[in-house]
Structure 1
Amino acid sequence: MSFQEVHYRPVFGRTLAVVTMVVCALGAAAMAVTDPASAIRYVWPILLVGVLAWALFWRPSLLVQEHGITVENVLRTHFVPWPSITAIDTRYSVTLHTTERRVQVWAAPASGRHRTLGLAPKDFDGVGESARGELGELRPGDAITTPTGNLAQLIRGRWEQLRDSGAFASGVDPDASTQTWHVATIATVAALSAATVIGIFV
Structure 2
Amino acid sequence: MSFQEVRYRPAFGRILAVVTVVVCALGAIGLVVADPAAALRYVWPILLVGVLAWALFWRPGLLVQEHGITVENVLRTLFVPWPSIVSIETRYSLTLHTAHGRVAVWAAPAPSRHRTLGLAPKDFDGIGDSARGELGELRPADAVTTPTGNLAQLIRGHWERLRDAGAFASGVDPEAATVTWHWATITAVAALAAATVIGLLV
Task: Identify the TM-score tier after normalising by the shorter chain.
Answer: over 0.9
Q: Distance in 2 between matches of 1:3 and 1:118?
A: 34
Partner residue in 2 for 1:192: 192
- Please give the alpha-carbon distance, in whole angstroms, between the structure 2 residues aligned to 1:142 and 1:17: 27
Paired with 2:36 and 2:70, the residues of 1 have a C-alpha distance of 43
Q: List structure 1 runs of 4+ shifted beyond 2 angstroms.
A: none
Aligned length: 202
Distance 1:106 1:200 in 2: 32
Aligned-partner SS, 1:175: coil
Q: State yes or no: 1:6 paired with 2:18.
A: no
Verify: 1:71 aligned to 2:71, yes or no.
yes
The aligned counterpart of 2:88 is 88
* 1:129-144 → structure 2 map (5 Å cutoff): 129-144=129-144
CA distance in 1, matches of 2:133, 2:178: 28
Structure 2: runs of 5+ lacking an equivalent: none
Task: Report the Cα offset of residue 120 of structure 1.
Answer: 1.2
Deviation at residue 129 of structure 1 after TM alignment: 1.0
Q: How does 1:1-202 map to 2 (within 5 A)?
A: 1-202=1-202
The alignment yields a C-alpha RMSD, in angstroms, of: 0.5
TM norm structure 2: 0.99
In 2, the alpha carbon distance for the partners of 1:125 and 1:5 equals 23
AA partner of residue 14 (structure 2)? R
Q: What is the identity, as a one-letter code, of the residue corresponding to 1:120? A: A
* C-alpha distance in 2 between matches for 1:61 and 1:180: 14
Amino acid at match of 1:190: A
Rounded Cα–Cα distance in structure 2 between residues aligned with 1:48 and 1:11: 22
How many angstroms apart in 2 are the aligned matches of 1:120 and 1:4? 29
Structure 1 gaps of 5+ residues are: none
Distance 2:124 2:100 in 1: 29
Instruction: Please report how far the alpha carbon of residue 117 of structure 1 lies from its aligned counterpart in structure 2 after TM superposition.
Output: 1.1
Q: Distance in 1 between matches of 2:128 and 2:18?
A: 36
Query: 2 CA distance for matches of 1:181 and 1:128?
Result: 33
Quote how far apart the aligned CAs of 1:119 are: 1.1
Deviation per CA, 1:21-64: give whole Å up to 9, x if none. Answer: 00000000001111101001100000000000000000000000
1:73, CA displacement in angstroms? 0.2
Report the Cα distance in structure 2 between the residues aligned to 1:191 and 1:142, rounded to whole angstroms.
Answer: 40
